[in-house]
Amino acid sequence: MVDPIADRRQILRAVVEGGFEGASRQSHGLVLRLLHMSLPPDDLLRRPFDTDGAVSALSYEGYPPIAYLGFAIGAGAADAQAKAQFAERLRSMIERDGTILSALIADDAALLGVADGLSSLEGEASSDLAVGLANAASAASGMGRLRALALDLIEPRGRLSVRVGTDSLNAATTDLALRRPWPRAYESVPPLANDERVRLLARVVSEPAPGPGDLERASAWLVALDSLVSEAASGAVPTTRDVVRLLNRTQGAMKRWVWEEKPRRSGTAPARWLIDNEYHVQDFLYAVLYPLFGAEVLEEQYIKGFGFTQPRYDLSIEDLSLIIEVKFARTKKDFNKFEEQIAGDLGLYFGPQSPYEALVAYVYDDCNTHYPELYDAFRDALLKRDDRIVDVVVVRRPSMIPSRSARG
């Protein structure tokens, strides 16, 4: 029996695999960024970033290696030296090389790569570079989806709020693919409705696919196809992927978090939903998961059958044999500790008599300064640790809640 989805996926994978040869360095970076967030760690299409090659090319190749390094920084795949070289060469181009800067700004993929890197760097220097790039890029004409995302990464102004429907197949698949690596930029952008997703899936499977040499478009189609199939396959029976999707969407839900400066009613105190510790996060997740899974959601239960060693998980969903490990980050160093703690707990959670088979880690970032460049690296490190870790979700503190240092 012919499977049109499998056939289309095979065609797209072949175009992507053969498309790296001859494609620009910025296209390589964009495609790797898309694939790293969409494919499992052991998939051969998930090539590693060649940051050493990009650094070596900075002196003679113009802006493409800068853009490539930006994508690598955004993916958490660049070391301190690569970050420094990226910032130094970008500053030199902005201040002294208007010709190359103009060429970069005209190249949407390259502009997104540079914006990705800048938005993931820390410090005042990166902010200055972001302002310089935004000023130069905003004057350019046109506003494709890659350009809108790039500008919103370095200077958020809601450029992505203009909704993309399904009339243009390429625009719709590109937009769907971009949501995977940059979910926070899309927090306020409504997703496609169910009927739109069904129509888009039918078109991706039936209409002529991108041909050889069309690396960027084939990658966007492949990532979009994976997203559409995952959504369609979930049906009425919730799965582990549904849990992951729901947990990822909690970041967007926090845009309506309650933190009143003044009470809305006289004689009452301002309503303020403070999340100040791991237990608060667990309570929040319980409220999110219970409507979908009901009594199958269990809190802080001991796993039986380990004698004197009885591990206790934070949350679980029995029907899915899934544990949800909750962590609360107060400082940057906590991310390193969490990696070791979660890895160390696996042997206890998944012993021979344990009813559980998979784990999702959920980290709430309450650091005074957020470190988004850590998220992808942290996620990737844990996913490579053990196949039973199915995903890692990191969310930032809602912007209306004061930082830890301001809360006293």
Indicate if the pLDDT at residue 389 is higher than 60: yes
Q: φ and ψ at 237, to 5 degrees? A: -105, 110
Indicate if the pLDDT at residue 400 is higher than 70: yes
- 292 Cα distance to chain centroid: 24
What local confidence, expressed as pLDDT, does residue 282 receive?
94
Strands 389-396 and 315-317: unpaired
d(CA 242, CA 253): 16
Kindly provide the b/e burial profile for residues 244-280, where b requires at least 16 CB atoms within 10 angstroms of the residue's own CB: bbbbbbbbbebeeeeeeeeeeeeeeeeeeeebeeeeb
The candidate with the shortest Cα–Cα distance to 139, out of 174, 101, 177, 168, is 101
310's tokens: 């009885």
Total Cβ atoms within 10 A of residue 207: 10
d(CA 211, CA 11): 9
Question: Average pLDDT in the 170-192 region?
Answer: 88
Could you tell me the strand order of the sheet in which 315-317 lies? 297-299, 315-317, 322-329, 358-365, 389-396
Q: What is the mean pLDDT of the chain?
A: 86
Total Cβ atoms within 10 A of residue 304: 9
- Separation in Å, CA 175 to CA 120, 149, 166, 169, 170: 21, 10, 10, 10, 8
Indicate if the pLDDT at residue 152 is higher than 60: yes
Indicate if the pLDDT at residue 249 is higher than 80: yes
Indicate if the pLDDT at residue 149 is higher than 70: yes
pLDDT tens figures, 257-277: 999 888 888 888 888 899 999
> Per this entry, what is the length of the chain?
408
Indicate if the pLDDT at residue 90 is higher than 80: yes
Q: Percentage of the chain with pLDDT > 90?
A: 45
Indicate if the pLDDT at residue 125 is higher than 60: no
195's tokens: 């009927």
d(CA 36, CA 122): 22
d(CA 386, CA 125): 37
Residue with tokens 């510790």: 277
d(CA 283, CA 287): 6
Residue with tokens 């069309």: 214
Question: Average pLDDT in the 348-355 region?
Answer: 81
352's tokens: 């021979």
3-state DSSP of 274-316: CCCCHHHHHHHHHHHHHHHHHHHEEECCECCCCCCCCCECCEE
What local confidence, expressed as pLDDT, does residue 140 receive?
53
- Residue 184: burial class (beta carbons within 10 Å; 0-12, 13-18, 19+): middle
Whether residue 304 contacts residue 354, with contact meaning beta carbons closer than 8 Å, is answered with no
Work out the end-to-end distance of the chain between its first and last CA atoms, rounded to an integer number of angstroms: 65
Three-state DSSP class for 270? coil
d(CA 59, CA 199): 47
Indicate if the pLDDT at residue 108 is higher than 60: yes
| CA dihedral for 125, 122, 403, 399, sign (positive or negative) | positive
Question: Average pLDDT in the 1-21 region?
Answer: 89
- Residues near 96 by beta carbon (within 8 Å), at least 6 away in sequence: none
The candidate with the shortest Cα–Cα distance to 62, out of 90, 38, 20, is 90
324 or 154: which leads in pLDDT: 324
